[in-house]
Amino acid sequence: MNTLMGLINLEHEHDFLEELTYFRCGAAAPFAGRYRLIDFTLSNMVKTRIEEVAVFTNTKYRSLMDHVGTGADWELARRHGGLFILPPDWNDPTDISRGDLRHFHNNRDYFHRSKADHVLVSGSQFVANTDFDEAFQHHLDTGADVTLVSVQLDKSLPEHVPQLRLETNEAGQVINLTNDQENKHAFTNVYIIKKEVLLRLVDQCIAFHKDHFLFHGIKENLHDLHAEYYQYEGYSFFVNSIESFFRHNMNLLDPDPYRELFFKNEYVRTKISNEPPVKYRETADVKDSLLANGSVIDGDVHNSVLFRGVKVKKGAVVKNSIILQRCIIEEDVHLENVILDKDVRISSGQTFIGSKDKPFVVAKRKQI
Amino acid sequence: MKKQCVGMLLAGGEGKRLGLLTKDLAKPAVPFGGKYRIIDFTLSNCSNSGIQTVGVLTQYSPLVLHKHIGIGKPWDMDRQFDGLTILSPYTAKRGGSWYSGTADAIYQNIHYIDQYDPDYILVISGDHIYQMNYDDLIQHHEEKQSDATISVIEVPWEEASRFGILNTKDNLEIYEFDEKPKEPKNNLASMGIYIFNWKTLRSYLLDDAEQTDSDHDFGKDIIPAMLNDGKRMFAYRFEGYWKDVGTIQSYWEANMDLLEEDLSVSLNNKEWRTYSQDVNYPPQFLDSRAVVENSLINSGSWISGTVKNSILFQCVEVGTGTTINKSIIHPHVKIGKNCTIERAIIMENVVIPDNTVIDGTKETEPVVINDEYVEQLT
């Protein structure tokens, strides 16, 4: 059938957000006031009407599982299909597979049971609000084995360095993935692949003791595959470092990127909470900021992103900062260029100032 | 499956005195407090009190209400055998009819209640704002070995004649019910919250259904009949915030009350959460010209003007140079630039053009703004 199934492959995503990934995988890192990074990919898959999504996860997945739950908030709690979180579960003593191939090998049933003939594979670091309908149509129209979703980089940013580049021939087919920084045609780590090709390449990789499906299964076989690309034109970015995390949160304080990301398309889904509306008290002074529900503001908040349930007490000043869920900022605290992870409490009168390029990051549940 | 107590939530009323607000909407579904609907407070009380078998009686304009309640998921009432059930008027072999009164609505659903063979039945309505533990009421009912217990709240003596007043002995036993008395003998007003022994109530409902001259109403018919027969009936004194949002003025006041700090209805109370349907709108955005003081604002809103002493629901846009004061702005309202809005209630999806002035300070009640009002302005 000409339908898609989804796979979010987190196996090779290292803990890319320093203190924020001490206790959680990158995909579960909070972003933009009320989301987790995985929400964007997951929502995009749902918008593409994908009805079954598997997540290959390797370590620190407790917070990820807590966040996605049964998938109900993405309408993925289904009688058939829906969401499958697949942590490591290696029971087969004859298994010789390695790297993410172990996930493919041990979860082969997921692919077999589905009626879909194509798989949309993604990581969690490419952030956009879109569906992949056009990419899939292109994939079907060209009869490609694999279609890579790409973006044209208009400027060079540090987070672009690790992104592979697409080398194409005159016919517009992808012939290689390179590390050529001069090439601005970058791969998003999102691709659509025929299911039978995927399973064939998985077998091949395992037979050759390979450990990385994208590199060894796809990149090394591009000469044998019909590989197309689909260039995504909308607002998008990569989050793969604390620096890019900080900058892209801050960019959303500009009206245009905020509208592009959140209002141009159907809204991005996330775990539903039960927080009341934001309470601004008499002394509140809030400008150029994003605030999520459940927050109570008595102080000054400028140019900052506040997640759910943050308390900013009287006389406190929060500038150019990202404050994660349920932090408490006591009276007369001054914060600038700071990232506070969840449940941090800053006692009254303290001052913390980081630099724009190197924000001061405070790990979860610290009391300072 | 036996249940100790089944809740019957009366949510079918029209709420005529809410005017435009209930033109196409059941009163319990009227938006309240920035993200809620009025019924959320009662349903959350049920959930927090451990009452998970609840029949919701709907009748007037129920589409939005039904969609909002769904299968009761936000209140953890999506259960396999009990949980929340929407009970709308129906037809059967014997014919069918609309619910002609509060008692008739329960009477027509006796078969629903009988499934659970409950000891008690809790009758509540979906148009009050309060936080109350119904379990305390049940315990009071059991201690007094009562046939019926009515929750009451002390009201100022000078206002007592606007309420249904219960005249009680010192031990809170009720001997008389006075509907809007000219000369009140007591200041304990009925909150419209009742606990009945189901067996007792059941027989009264059957009797009442036979009476052709009855209004089939709890306050007018059932309670007086039980008093007449000398049933043991006690008042339960509730202390805390309680507000009937029956008029536009009281609806507006109850919303403004949420901005006060010392109210016992606190939306931020983690021990007594107020649950509602939530939506996946992005965080709210305040730009460099935003001024927001003493207000509640929900997600998806975009603020470029001044908002004071107001309540803004989800996805409200406030243009640059606009000032909003003492107002309630329902979801998806777009307010243009350089507007002044004072003491108004703006209904869902209304678009207010630039430079509009709406001043409700001189009216007796806050002004309610819908599309037609805006068309007349231009």
A184 and A290 in a common domain: no
CATH number at residue A242: 3.90.550.10
Q: Kindly state whether residues A258 and A287 are assigned to the same domain.
A: no
Give yes or no: residues A76 and A211 share one domain: yes
- What is the pLDDT at residue A1? 64
pLDDT at B264: 65
Which of the listed residues A237, A262, A287 is the one where a domain comes to its end?
Answer: A262
Contacts 24+ apart (CB under 8 A), B248-251: B248/B17, B248/B18, B248/B19, B248/B21, B248/B345, B248/B365, B248/B366, B248/B368, B249/B364, B249/B365, B249/B366, B251/B18, B251/B21, B251/B30, B251/B32, B251/B345
Same domain assignment for residues A39 and A71? yes
**Whether A274 and B33 lie within 8 Å, measured CB to CB:** no
Are residues A287 and A252 located together in one domain of the fold? no
Residue B365 counted as an annotated binding residue:
no
**Is A271 among the domain residues?**
no
The predicted-structure confidence for A243-266, as pLDDT tens digits, reads as follows: 999 999 999 999 999 999 999 888
Give domain status of residue A267, yes or no: no
Which ipTM did the prediction report? 0.92
Residue B159: the pLDDT is 87
Contact B286 A34 (CB under 8 A): no
Asked whether the predicted pLDDT for residue A186 surpasses 80, the reply is: yes
Q: Is residue A296 part of a domain?
A: yes
Give mean pLDDT, residues A72-93.
Answer: 90
Nearest chain B residue (CA) to A290: B285
pLDDT at B290: 96
Out of A227, A262, A297, pick the residue that ends a domain: A262
Residue A367 lies in a domain: no
How close B111 gets to chain A, by Cα (Å)?
31
Cβ neighbours of residue A22 under 8 Å, at least 6 residues apart? A15, A363, A364
Q: In whole numbers, what is the pLDDT of chain A averaged over residues?
A: 94
Averaged pLDDT for residues A230-234: 96
Distance CA B97, CA A339 (A): 62
pLDDT at residue number B211: 92
Q: What are the residues of chain B with a beta carbon less than 8 Å away from any beta carbon of chain A?
A: 33-35, 74, 267-268, 273-276, 278-300, 307, 311-313
Indicate whether A225 and A284 sit together in one domain: no
Which residues of B fall within a CB distance of 8 Å from A320?
none
Q: Is B180 annotated as a binding residue?
A: yes
| Model confidence pLDDT, tens digit, residues A270-310 | 999 889 999 999 999 999 999 999 999 999 999 999 999 99
The residue out of A219, A234, A262 marking a domain boundary is A262
Please indicate whether, in this complex, the C-beta atoms of A33 and B283 are within 8 angstroms of each other: yes
The contacts of residue A233 (CB under 8 Å, 6+ apart) are none
Q: Residues A336, A229: one domain?
A: no
Domain range enclosing A137: 4-262
B47 in a known ligand binding site: no
Residues A322 and A181 in one domain: no
Mean pLDDT of the region A166-180:
94
- The reply to whether A287 and A257 lie within a common domain is no
Helices (H), chain B: 39-48, 63-69, 102-107, 110-114, 134-143, 198-210, 223-228, 248-257, 371-377
Contact A5, A109 (CB under 8 A): no
Using pLDDT thresholds of 50, 70 and 90, give the confidence band for residue A89: confident
Considering the domain boundaries, does residue A273 fall inside one? no
A311: nearest CA partner in chain B: B268
Q: Count of domains in chain A?
A: 2
Which of A31, A280, A310 to mutate to test binding with chain B, by most B CBs within 10 Å of its CB?
A280
Whether A244 and A306 map to the same domain: the answer is no
Is residue A51, in this structure, part of any structural domain at all? yes
Residues of chain B positioned with their CB less than 8 A from the CB of A278 = 284, 296-298
Tell me which residue has tokens 């006690």.
B234
Chunk chain B into consecutive blocks of 10 residues (it has 378) and report each block's average pLDDT, rounded to whole numbers: 93 89 94 96 96 96 96 94 95 92 96 96 94 96 96 92 91 91 92 96 96 92 94 95 91 94 78 90 96 96 97 97 97 97 96 95 91 87
Q: Which of A279, A298, A305 to mutate to test the interface with B (most CBs of B within 10 A)?
A: A279
Residue A99 counted as domain residue: yes
Residue A274 covered by a domain: no
| One domain for residues A187 and A329 | no
Same domain, A64 and A204: yes
CB contact under 8 A, B283 and A34: yes
Q: Which residues of B touch A267 (CB under 8 A)?
A: 279-282, 300
Q: What's the pTM?
A: 0.93
Q: Output the domain CATH number for residue A301.
A: 2.160.10.10
DSSP letter string over A118-165?
EEEEE-SSEEE----HHHHHHHHHHT-SEEEEEEE-SS--GGGTTS-E
Q: Between chains, do B284 and A291 touch, taking CB under 8 Å as contact?
A: yes
Three-point CA angle A133, A135, A139, nearest 5°: 115
